[in-house]
Structures are given as C-alpha cells and as structure tokens.
Amino acid sequence: MSLGFGFSLAKRLDYLGFTVYAGCLSSDCEGAETLRSSTTGKMNVVQLDVTSDDSVNKALKFVTDHVNKNNLELWAVVNNAGLNFLGDVEFCPMDIYKRIADVNLFGVVRVTKAFLPLIRKAKGRIVNCTSVKGRLSLPTNTAYNITKYGVETFSDGLRLEMLKFGVKVIVVEPGNFGGATGMLNENSLKVMRKDFDTMWTEAGADVKETYGKDYLEGLYTAGVNSKDTTHKTLAPVIDAYEDAIVNMSPQYRYLVDGSNQLFDIYCMLARLNAILPVSCMDYLVDKVFSSGLPVIAAHKNK
C-alpha cells in the first residue's frame, strides 16, 4: 500500500471508527509509517504480499487472532493491490503478463479465499477494486485488461455463490485517476522505463522493424503525460469504497468517473460498450486513441 487508493481508504475508515488492517507490501514504506502514526488505536499495519501464500496466511493469522482477542468480526475485505502495464501484444513478454496477473488477478483470488471464512461468519462483504478497463478493452492494455476482466467475472461468480450466506460482493471500477495515485511517482516511472527498455530489447527483428523505436517511445511519453488529464484527488473513489462498505444495500458495481476534463472519456466509452455493436465500438476506440489520447486510465496501488 503506497499513497494511493488503499492508503486513503485506510485513513478514511480509521477516521470513521473502524478497526483497520492495512496490508502493506513493505512495512517500512512511507504509507505504512504514516498509517502507524494514527492515534485512534484501531489502525493495524500488516505486512502483506498478495503473490505469496505464506504472506497471506501470516496476515490471516494476525487478523484472526486480533478479532478473536478483541471480540470482533471481520466485516469487509478490500482487494486493492494492483499493477498497471502499457504495451502492445507483440511487445509484451510472457513474464510480464504473468507478473501483472499474479498481483491483479491471482492476488485477489488468493486473499479472498483466505479471508472468506471470516467474512462468511460475519455476513460481511468482499470489495474488489478493478478498473474502467474491466468493462472496456483498449489497445496496448491487454496485460492489464485481462486481469481486470478476470476479477470482474471472479466477483460475479463469487457474488452468486455467497448469496446463500448473506455475503455481498461489490466491484469498484475507477476511471481516470492514475495521476492522483502513486502510479506516476519517481519509483513507478523507473519501473515503467525499465519495462519499456525490456520490451524493445526482447522484441524480435520483425516487430522492431514493423513498429519502430519511435512508436514505443511515443507510447511511453503518452503514459508519463497521462497525469495531465487525470482527476486531481482520489475522493470520488474513496467515497465509492465507503458506500460499498457501510451501505446496507450497496451497488453491485461502482463505475467512478475521473478526469480533470469535461467528462471521463474512458467511462463514457465503457457505458457505450454495453449497448453498441462491436463494430461501432472498434471504430470509436480506434478514432479516440489514434488521435494520441493517453491510454492509461486507472491504477491501484499496493
């Protein structure tokens, strides 16, 4: 958890009086240190790597022991950890597909399965943060898109399975908020730069000749510059999270418009995607992105 959705939600829930278990990949990161400074006595920072069975099981033991000791019940699990990635199918190596999926998709499954018995006992809820890209497929986004679509269908199946237990499963789908998270901070940009260098290095001669280095560099620049169009704060997403957690009749899905423009083009296209024929959507998406609009729409931070 860095200074993104998860960090802001933990602070909001702490303010509202909840006992919070904030899972952080690094227990020494800036976000973890800030959360530890809470004076409510209800904030618990837990080391958590969603790609590791051992780490998840240790976090589960901590939470189980804590709720039992304090006569509590676990009301909600929010799956928020995520990685973004930008790159065409022909450029993206298989190990990057696997790396993104291990966090974004299998991390959600791993954490949910571990904590579900506690949630089931409380008749609580699972809240999965996906993205507008869980509704809308975009060029250069397949490594990310397939994980978001995967969590969407995982959530749908789990929601149906949990009906008989009174457990609610909710999806939050942020739109254009990437620049307001830690996605484009110094460390994230270093990782992004390394990934783009890897894509070019590992690409075959035919791919390099077909696309050219300038194309890949242009895509990188568009990703970096996407911060110029994103929403300035995370508040609309955190509001959706809060409603998903505290409302006794929450929505099944919260598509949250972002952007600092007149409207969120990604969310608009996602809504049209539900009603227009494929040929029409292909035309619209191609026209929008061939105009040079940055293609990074949303991201969640560990």
Active site residues: 144
**Of 246, 226, 228, 227, residue with least CA distance to 238:** 246
Taking residue 245's Cβ as centre, other Cβ atoms within 10 Å add up to 21
**Token match 């995607």: residue?**
273
**Are the C-beta atoms of 266 and 297 separated by less than 8 Å?**
yes
For 23, phi and psi rounded to 5 degrees?
-80, 120
User: What does the alpha-carbon distance between residue 126 and residue 192 come to, in Å, rounded to a whole number?
Assistant: 30
SS3 89: coil
**Are the C-beta atoms of 287 and 168 separated by less than 8 Å?**
no
> Encoding tokens for residue 111?
């954490």
The per-residue b/e assignment along 251-275, b for 16 or more CB within 10 angstroms, e otherwise, is: eebbbbbbbeeeebbbbbbbbebee
* 168-174 vs 43-47, strand pairing mode: unpaired
User: What does the alpha-carbon distance between residue 114 and residue 189 come to, in Å, rounded to a whole number?
Assistant: 32
